[in-house]
Chain A
Amino acid sequence: NAGVTQTPKFRILKIGQSMTLQCAQDMNHNYMYWYRQDPGMGLKLIYYSVGAGITDKGEVPNGYNVSRSTTEDFPLRLELAAPSQTSVYFCASVATGSSREQYFGPGTRLTVT
């Protein structure tokens, strides 16, 4: 299994541009999550999904959108990028009925200038 994969690894955006961060998992996990991690800070939950077609807001959803059309994929869309969205973004997944440990992707480092 590849586990949780994220693309791209790095990206520089100009203010006002848009982009989609890709996340995929091959473990057939129902739950998927997007977090952001600012320098020296912990994780903040942006959005999560409990299964295909079902998504919900986390702690800091403003400026982002998600969709979940398949079990495997959970892309995060940034519209009208702002410098405040400069961060490292992590995708994670959890298996239903498990001990609820999270499996994380390697992250996408995004800079908005």
Chain B
Amino acid sequence: GDSVTQMEGPVTLSEEACLTINCTYTATGYPSLFWYVQYPGEGLQLLLKATKADDKGSNKGFEATYRKETTSFHLEKGSVQVSDSAVYFCALTASGGSYIPTFGRGTSLIVHP
């Protein structure tokens, strides 16, 4: 079946440091790929997405590129802020008729001033 593997946290950084959170997936065909963010005490919200190979999703300074050859969708940001502290989930939805997503376990990011 489909699966998503993301790096374990917590990831602890100082403000203005570079961020990479690794995400790899297993799925047949061409799934849609997502990063969701969950701020403390809130629900998940979409951060960015990519629906086909080589697409780059971007939002709020975060980026991720859909790499079919390495089955990866790593999340990057050049300079993190304290307000980026949250849990980040990588997810996929398979192509075809399925609307059931597969989520990774989440990676907690803590940014210190």
Contacts and interface: CB of A to CB of B under 8 A. Distances in A.
A105 B45 CA distance: 9
A93 B25 CA distance: 23
B105 A42 contact: yes
Contacts of B45: 104
B89 A42 contact: yes
The number of chain B residues touching the other chain, given as a range, is 20 to 34
B22 interface: no
Interface in A74-99: 90, 92, 94, 96, 99
B17 interface: no
B41 to A, nearest CB: 8
A101 B89 CA distance: 13
Interface of A: 4, 31, 41-43, 45, 48, 50, 58, 90, 92, 94, 96, 99-107
Closest 10 pairs between A and B when the two form their complex, measured CB to CB = A104-B43, A42-B105, A100-B93, A104-B44, A31-B99, A106-B43, A101-B46, A43-B103, A107-B43, A42-B106
Given A41-B106, A92-B44, A96-B99, 4 more contacts: A4-B43, A42-B89, A42-B105, A58-B100
